[in-house]
Amino acid sequence: MIERTLWHPVALSHVVGTQPRAATLLGEDLVLWRDDSGQAHALADQCPHRGARLSMGRVAGGQLECPYHGWRFEGGGRCTHIPAVPGFQPGPRHGAHAFDTREAYGMLWVRLAAPEGAPGPIHDLPAFAAESEPRLRKTTSGPYVVQASAPRIIENFLDMAHFGYVHEGWLGSRDRPEIAPYQVAATPHGVKATGCLAWQPRASVHSTSVAQVDYTYEVTAPYMAVLTKQPEPGTTAIDGLRESIAMFICPVTEESSVAWTRMAMNDFDSPDARLIDFQNTIFGQDQPVLESQRPKKLPLAPDAEAHSAADRMSSAYRRFLKDSGIRWGVIA
Ligand code: FES
Ligand SMILES: [Fe+2]
């Protein structure tokens, strides 16, 4: 399954520590924890001995200790100690299954299987890279626990025609619902929409008046998208406001997800709470609609749902998922 070879975000980096925590990715239960050197690890959350949840255990001496009989595991999954038989040298059969982890963009990422050939890079998101730190400040909102499939959440993130209804008075107005034609093109890793114009009463925390906002949307992986929004000059408290928002999603089950938004903007003054509050408001408006959608899995057949010309980006996203062989969270 191709989804298993992709990197997925599973938790904010700073919440993963020496207190083990549970997460679920693509239906797989994981235990996340850090060893004494600060290295993060993800193991199957099922002890190889009697199947107890390792996330109920503790980290001791830089190793994960099962809550049931105290077997100890290294970050790589090797079992080092069986307290009931202290002289015994555990072998590979006593080990826990370990998954690859990476840390990037303030998150811990896991992939469940290594792809064939060279290891895949973690998503390349220049606006969010550490190198952009002097120019762009980063903040993350979430986790949002959503009873919706990852593709439905991404498609909503790419959708402008709902602004005037779901986000009335904020990102749109029902008096100005029209979506002007925009351009959609395939990229090496997904699809991109440019020239997307929205009339927004309150485009961000920095808005000082209604504004025409120019959006660029980019799907960078099957369950990931980034938008960059540029309000017309003179409508924000910050001159030349530059704002990118990435939608990070952990596909938990086929019909439920955990989402975060990562913001990168040239605003070094607003308190985190203010920026996060705005995202919480917007996502809080989206969530009930997302959770109401049926079917919960995104139908990829072109005629499965009705479309309008405003939905070109969503149609391109569905084609991309189909062409990528994605099965999780979709009706192929
Ligand atoms: S179930 Fe984990 S040590 Fe026995
Ligand atoms: Fe929305």
Burial (CB count <10 Å: 0-12, 13-18, 19+), residue 61: exposed
Q: In this predicted structure, what is the pLDDT of residue 219?
A: 97
Q: What is the mean pLDDT of the chain?
A: 95
CA atoms within 13 Å, Cβ hemisphere of 293: 23
* Nearest ligand to the C-alpha atom of residue 285: 2
Catalogue all structural domains in the chain, each as residue range(s) with its CATH number.
2-111 (2.102.10.10), 137-331 (3.90.380.10)
- Ligand 2 centroid to Cα of residue 282, in Å, is 6
User: Residue 84 pLDDT more than 80?
Assistant: yes
- Ligand 2 centroid to Cα of residue 95, in Å, is 44
Report the atom number in ligand 1 closest to the C-alpha of 54: 2
65/69 Cα distance (integer angstroms):
9
Whether the CB-CB separation of 65 and 52 falls below 8 Å is answered with no
The answer to whether the CB of 69 is under 6 A from ligand 1 is yes
Q: In this predicted structure, what is the pLDDT of residue 129?
A: 86
Q: In this predicted structure, what is the pLDDT of residue 118?
A: 63
Q: In this predicted structure, what is the pLDDT of residue 134?
A: 82
Give 138-183 pLDDT, tens digit per residue: 999 999 999 999 999 999 999 999 999 999 999 999 999 999 999 9
Q: Report angle CA 121, 45, 221 to the nearest 5 degrees.
A: 25
Taking the model in full, what pTM does it have? 0.96
Report the atom number in ligand 1 closest to the C-alpha of 67: 2
Give 22-65 pLDDT, tens digit per residue: 999 999 999 999 999 999 999 999 999 999 999 999 999 999 99
Place of tokens 């190198």: 131
User: Residue 119 pLDDT more than 80?
Assistant: no
* Nearest ligand to the C-alpha atom of residue 53: 1
- Ligand 1 centroid to Cα of residue 67, in Å, is 7
Q: In this predicted structure, what is the pLDDT of residue 307?
A: 97
The answer to whether the CB of 47 is under 6 A from ligand 1 is yes
* Nearest ligand to the C-alpha atom of residue 64: 1
Give 89-117 pLDDT, tens digit per residue: 999 999 999 999 999 999 999 999 988 77
| Residue 51: strand, helix, or coil | coil
In this structure, what token pair is assigned to residue 275?
């920026």
184/182 Cα distance (integer angstroms):
7
